[in-house]
Amino acid sequence: MFPYLLAAILLISLSGFYIGRKQASNLRSQTKLHSLPQYHGYFIALWCGIPTILLILLWTALEPVLLGSLIRSHLESQSGGLTPTDYVIMTEEVRNLAAGVALGTQDPLILETAEWMRSLQQSSQWSMVVVTILLAMLIMAFTRSKVAPGFKARHGVELLFNGFLFISSTIAILTTIGIVLSLIFETFRFFELVPITEFLFGLKWYPQIAIRADQVAGDGAWGAIPVFSGTLLISFVAMIVAGPIGLMSAIYFSEYASPKMRGWTKPILEILAGIPTVVYGFFAALTLAPLVRDGGIAIGLEVEARSALAAGLVMGVMIIPFISSLSDDVINAVPQTLRDGSYAMGATKSETIRQVIIPAALPGIVGAFLLAISRAIGETMIVAMAAGLNANLTLNPLENVTTVTVQIVVALIGDQEFDDPKTLSAFALGLVLFIVTLILNVVALAIVKKYREKYD
Amino acid sequence: MSQKKNNGTLVTKINSSDVRVFYDQAEALHGVDLEIYENSVTALIGPSGCGKSTFLRCINRMNDVIEGCRITGKITLDNEDIYDKGLDVVQLREKVGMVFQKPNPFPKSIYDNIAYGPQIHGLAQNRQEMDEIVENSLKKAGLFEEVKDRLNSPGTGLSGGQQQRLCIARAIAVNPEVILMDEPCSALDPIATAKIEELIHELRQNYTIVIVTHSMQQAARVSQRTAFFHMGDLVEVGDTDDIFVRPEDKRTQDYITGRFG
Ligand SMILES: Nc1ncnc2c1ncn2[C@@H]1O[C@H](COP(=O)(O)OP(=O)(O)OP(=O)(O)O)[C@@H](O)[C@H]1O
Ligand SMILES: [Mg+2]
């Protein structure tokens, strides 16, 4: 039904375009028009199409909600004394039956309601078709009557375009706000169950608590410090790897490599950036972690199977192209006149790089590093596969640590209720993570921007 | 061809013979023969794109940095071929300093801007010697009084004219023999320009200066010799007074009377 309806609306719009254009060009042979004929066409087509398609989307979105509550009140009126949960389940059953999923239910009430729901859906669908097509036709008739020499169709089209773009950006912004708000609210709920001081300053993190009465588990402890320290430790290892290598390769690419060399080596780095993080993840877990452990044992070190070192190393490799391409941009933005000035003083290439280019590019490089750190902190897949689950408060990279992102993943898989602290802890962790990366990004971008202004 | 205008004998500092420069395949200079005398100011003039900067950059081999740039012919400095295989560009550039069109101080303090060259070439044994070099260079460039209280603030914080004098101070800090200047005043206002011109006058006592300029007046004011370039050719060279009063070539005359360029 839906595709046909859309096609019909588009067809109406399209014919609106041709009708409007034809009508306007007929007029044009007699007098001068304010807007070119095709603008009249666009005007009709857009007005026929956009509002009706919006109506269809709205209708399709609201229908299940409205029908659901209708069904529920019907069920409630037909059978009394049941818990709200029962009604939810019954409504779901009705919905499935109506959608043609056989459940084998014998309950006559449900069967009958499902039948009723199906007929409601049918009539809703048909009325949607009728209403929208009628609406499109009406708009077409109305807008057609506006085609006249003095009619400012061009302005109308511009306005519609403007509105369309405005709505798109509003949706993007509202979604962001919505996500942040929900994070904040859920975090507040978490802090109703767990004191905020424990979360921020506690040194123990044991989220494994009993959810059902028959489970045996601890009481839980919600000190986030070991979790964050794990994140920082792994990010630190990653930056130790990625910082120097990324920066050096950026210097090589921008200052030493011939254009030909640059032409084929840069794409290779970009491929590195395109590898899905999950691939890095199993590389870390299956290849590197055992290697690190065996290597450690060979030189007499105690290395755990899932060490922060292994996860950090792989994460570092992942970040290399990120740092290298950002730093490359920054170094290229250093004006050629500075290099010339240095060479003209008799400086060699490496002296010029160390003493002029790097200091000139430093703010930008710092910005690049901060962005990279924020990437490392938010990275999930590698640590989920290669880092541990124990919130171990340590600075030793040979031990097993966990990270914020891993704990969020853990909190949201397996048995869960939506109001127990384990699940809600994910939101609190997420919020803090969000704040940290937000600050890092804002600071980094501000630094980079200031740097760009200096040399434009 | 040189007359003895500046009492005493003229010593050739730089000599170029049949210098041709190619950017990829395009020939930008078509065989330039030019003598530059010690302790005098030589001005290079000519319409835009005629190859003045290209020639200037040959003298301290800054063209080496440009991809696809090739040079034939011979340039000598004190009778030594500067394109000789055995010559070290670092040492050449220690002797031949350069000042650019746009002031380009390094993103360092005023002090470190000046100390950069001496430090690279190992000219100071200790901090005290370096302090002296910095102070002397700034004094020679006529900038010391203006910046002596803020030697540690960034060089980029100075005004355009001060920055250009800083760049000159930076160039003379390594005690070069020749200073090349490529339109050093084109980004400056008349007052800053006058200061730089005065400075060039003073520097002539100790250095050989080659200056590219678009201003006839400036060439007339600061130089003893003038070379006129046109479309990659050196058309005419002679004492500045002669060139501006009695040009031999029609193209020179047209240019200095403002008929083209
Ligand atoms: N890096 C380069 N690559 C290719 N061609 C160049 C390059 N630099 C200069 N040229 C060419 O060489 C010729 C001479 O240029 P040059 O910069 O020496 O002129 P100029 O006399 O200094 O001009 P202006 O007074 O505008 O500075 C021009 O035709 C120019 O296009
Ligand atoms: Mg030039």
User: Where are the alpha helices (H) located in A79-224, listed in sequence order?
Assistant: 84-98, 108-144, 153-193, 196-201
| Per-residue model confidence (pLDDT) at position B129 | 93
Question: Based on the domain organization, do A126 and A232 belong to the same domain?
Answer: no
Least confident of A88-97, A297-306, A414-423: A414-423
Higher pLDDT, B43 or B64: B43
For B117, nearest residue in chain A (alpha carbons): A345
pLDDT for the residue numbered A62: 92
Does ligand 1 have an atom closer than 6 angstroms to the CB of B51? yes
Amino acid at A368: A
Tell me whether residue A323 is in a domain: yes
Same domain flag for A346 and A240: yes
Q: Can you give the pLDDT at residue A246?
A: 93
The SS3 assignment for A372 reads helix
Q: What is the pLDDT of residue A455?
A: 64
Residue B206 CB neighbour total at 10 angstroms: 14
Asked if residue B5 has pLDDT above 50, the reply is no
Query: Predicted confidence band at A389 (pLDDT cuts at 50, 70, 90)?
Result: confident
Residue B88's SS3 state is coil
Whether A345 contacts chain B with CB within 8 A: yes
Find out whether the beta carbon of B50 lies less than 6 Å from any atom of ligand 1: yes
Q: What's the confidence (pLDDT) of residue A218?
A: 59
Task: Answer whether A343 sits within 8 Å of B93, measured CB to CB.
Answer: yes
CATH of residue A427? 1.10.3720.10
CB-based contact, A259 to chain B, within 8 Å: yes
From the list A266, A367, A246, the residue with the least C-alpha distance to A316 is: A246
Does pLDDT of B3 surpass 50? no
The band of A74, judged by pLDDT with boundaries at 50, 70 and 90, is: confident
| 3 state DSSP class of B208 | strand
At B236, which helix (H) or strand (E)? strand B233-239
Q: In terms of domains, do A233 and A382 share one?
A: yes
pLDDT reported for residue B166: 94
Decide if A169 is inside a domain: no
| Rounded Cα distance, B25 and A137, in Å | 68
Q: Which atom of ligand 1 is nearest to the CA of B46?
A: 21
Q: How do residues B137-172 score in pLDDT, each as one tens digit?
A: 998 888 898 999 999 998 888 988 899 999 999 999
pLDDT at residue A403 in the model: 87
Look at B187 and B245; give whichever has higher pLDDT.
B245
pLDDT higher for A417 or B138?
B138
| The pLDDT of residue B237 | 93
Residue A223 has pLDDT above 60, yes or no: yes
Position B167 scores a pLDDT of: 93
Instruction: Flag whether pLDDT at B4 surpasses 50.
Output: no
Of A92-101, A165-174, A246-255, B48-57, minimum mean pLDDT range: A92-101
Sign of CA dihedral B87, B91, B97, B101: positive
pLDDT band at A219; cut points 50, 70, 90 = low
Question: Which ligand has the shortest distance to the CA of B28?
Answer: 1
- Please state the rounded mean pLDDT for residues A404-419: 78
Q: Is the pTM of this model over 0.80?
A: no
In a domain, A120, yes or no: yes
Q: Which of A140-149, A385-394, B182-191 has the lowest mean pLDDT?
A: A385-394
Q: Is residue A164 part of a domain?
A: no
pLDDT at B8: 58
Q: Which ligand is nearest to the CA of B181?
A: 2
Final residue of a domain: which of A151, A169, A198?
A151
- What lies within 8 Å, CB to CB, of B235 at 6+ separation is B46, B228, B229, B249, B251, B252
Contact B30, B20 (CB under 8 A): yes
DSSP 3-state assignment of B16?
strand
The H or E element spanning position B167 is helix B160-172
Section A193-216 average pLDDT: 75
State the average pLDDT over residues A14-25. Answer: 91
> Nearest Cβ partner of B94 from A342, A343, A346?
A346
With a cut of 70, say whether residue A328 has pLDDT above it.
Answer: yes
Please give the structure tokens belonging to residue B14.
């730089």
Contact A165, A189 (CB under 8 A): no
Give the domain-ending residue among A134, A151, A168. A151
Structural domain contains residue A298: yes
Indicate the residue among A93, A123, A151 that finishes a domain. A151
Name the token pair of A18.
Answer: 């041709």
Structure tokens at A51: 């509002």
Task: Say what the pLDDT of residue A210 is.
Answer: 60
For residue B31, what is the enclosing H or E element?
A: strand B26-37
The yes-or-no verdict on residue A217 having pLDDT over 70 is no
Give A112 or B225, the one with higher predicted confidence.
B225
pLDDT exceeds 90 at position A34:
no
A284 and A142 in a common domain: no
d(CA A447, CA A388) in angstroms, rounded, equals 35
Cα(B193) to centroid of ligand 1, in Å? 24
In a shared domain, residues A427 and A315:
yes
| pLDDT-based confidence at residue A411 (cuts at 50, 70, 90) | confident
Question: Whole domain around residue A81: which residue ranges?
Answer: 2-151
**In a shared domain, residues A273 and A422:** yes
Are A254 and A366 members of one domain?
Answer: yes
Pocket test for ligand 1, best of B20, B50, B212 (most atoms within 8 A of CB): B50
A194 is a domain residue: no
> Are A124 and A67 in contact, with CB atoms under 8 Å apart?
yes
The total domain count for chain A is 2
Question: In this model, does residue A444 exceed pLDDT 50?
Answer: yes
Asked if the model's pLDDT at residue A81 lies above 80, the reply is no
Phi, psi of B181 (to 5 degrees): -130, 125
The string of pLDDT tens digits covering residues B48-104 is 999 999 999 999 999 888 888 999 999 999 999 999 888 899 999 999 999 999 899
pLDDT band at A209 (very low <50, low <70, confident <90, very high): low
Q: What is the pLDDT of residue A212?
A: 57
Please give the distance, rounded to the nearest whole angstrom, from the Cα atom of residue B204 to the centre of ligand 1.
27
The predicted model gives A284-290 an average pLDDT of 86
Q: Judge whether A185 lies within some domain.
A: no
Mean pLDDT in residue range A275-292: 87
Residue A205 maps to a domain = no
Residue A216 above 70 pLDDT?
A: no
Task: Tell me how far the alpha carbon of residue B62 lies from the centroid of ligand 2, in angstroms.
Answer: 13
Same domain, A232 and A374: yes
Beta-carbon separation of B120 and A346 below 8 A: yes
B140 lines ligand 1 (CB under 6 A): no
Interface check for A263 against chain B (CB to CB < 8 A): the answer is no
Q: pLDDT band for position A196 (50/70/90)?
A: confident
Q: Are residues A302 and A420 in the same domain?
A: yes
For B172-176, what is the mean pLDDT? 91
Q: φ, ψ for residue B179 (rounded to 5)?
A: -125, 125
Compute the mean pLDDT over every residue in chain A, rounded to the nearest whole number: 86
- Decide the pairing of beta strands B225-230 and B69-77: unpaired
